[in-house]
Structure 1
């Protein structure tokens, strides 16, 4: 592992970009949870956040994907300014692009959501559903790799935090990718998503200047 001495001063634009990394998680998780609690038929033990993009209020989740995608891209730009390594920010940017794609290509309705949808997985997957999952798979893989790449430039405790976050997210993603409909798997993935966003927020906060801005 290479530990880098991070700058104690960064410019105001860089601070703004890193602040986007702090905000991305609360925006995504808060918007998703609020929808999950208020939209009829949604069940956290059976449904991922992606399918909230369906139905009459689906535009809210579409906007959530697009806004958090842009915030994540801004965070990646901020990390590029303060970290010597390039792969971590690039991988995080790939994840940001995947969020934008998730907003453009919606997941198919499934398992009773929106109301009136048959129980169980969709009988057939639409072209936009295929692209949604393909982009998600690429983005999630990039996020896991970003945890390791960015962590290699952080102090030891934060480096381990980054690695553990990446591993836990990989486990959570692997569970849903297996096709399991177990409530434990679905809730585990929700937890993994929250952990990943918390990692981005705390890492961005850690990299904010520890002295005056220029």
Structure 2
């Protein structure tokens, strides 16, 4: 086996981490959403699954998925270094991945009646870990959206259009944050955008 073959195998392995990460995060999250007492998809984001008994599962989901996406970012850098999108694509994906890890390490504050017994509505004062959780989210999600448009320039044809549509759709919930539809739309965007990242990983892996 040549050095090039070894390098390509490593790159494919790293990109394969990204192929796995999106479905892993979504399946694990939704499996908990339908089984945790008091959890409502119309009211509670995935972040709340890190709270209460069994919260370690979602914490692990955040951290493991984030690490897999971080490995993917390294694979993307290896795969398209020196090409269009080869600088900002991996950087934005790495920011997204680190934000996911931070979202697991720093848990949200109990609110909106979850876990059972928590106060209704927003907490009056955010804890330090609640604030850092918010920082992680507002770093990760914009980075993910921006990466959509970076890869739209990297690809062409239907793939470029796919990237643009994903980016535009991902922005939509921002206008509805805090409304009764905001959380539901956020779940729809999570499915679209997390699977998009895994799809990009699969495409780049096929190109190596």
Tell me the TM-score normalized by structure 2.
0.91
**Per-residue displacement from partner, 1:171-190 (whole Å, max 9, x unpaired)?**
124432xx32x0x2211100
Aligned runs of 1:117-156 on 2, under 5 Å?
A: 117-156=118-157
Q: Residues of 2 paired with 1:174 and 1:122: CA distance? A: 22
Give the helix-richer structure, 1 or 2. 2
5 Å matches for 1:48-59?
A: 48-59=45-56
Other-structure match for 2:42: 45
Deviation string, structure 1 residues 99-155 (Cα, Å, up to 9, x no partner): 111111111111111001122222221111111111210111111111111221112
Which has the bigger relative contact order, CA under 8 A and spacing at least 6?
A: 1
Contact 1:73 1:97 in 2 (8 A): yes
Give RMSD over aligned pairs: 1.4
- How far the C-alpha of 1:30 sits from its partner, in A, is 0.6
* Structure 2 residue aligned with 1:105: 106
* TM-score for the superposition, normalised by structure 1: 0.88
How far apart are 1:160 and its partner, in Å?
1.4
Q: Which whole-Å CA distance do the structure 2 matches of 1:106 and 1:88 have between them? A: 28
Q: Secondary structure at the match of 1:55?
A: coil
Tell me: CA distance 1:173–1:71, structure 2 relative to 1, closer, same or farther (3 Å).
Answer: farther
Shift of 1:16: 0.8
CA distance in 2, matches of 1:131, 1:73: 19
Residue ranges of structure 1 left out of the alignment (5+ in a row): 1-9
2:9 corresponding residue in structure 1: 12
Matched residues, number: 198
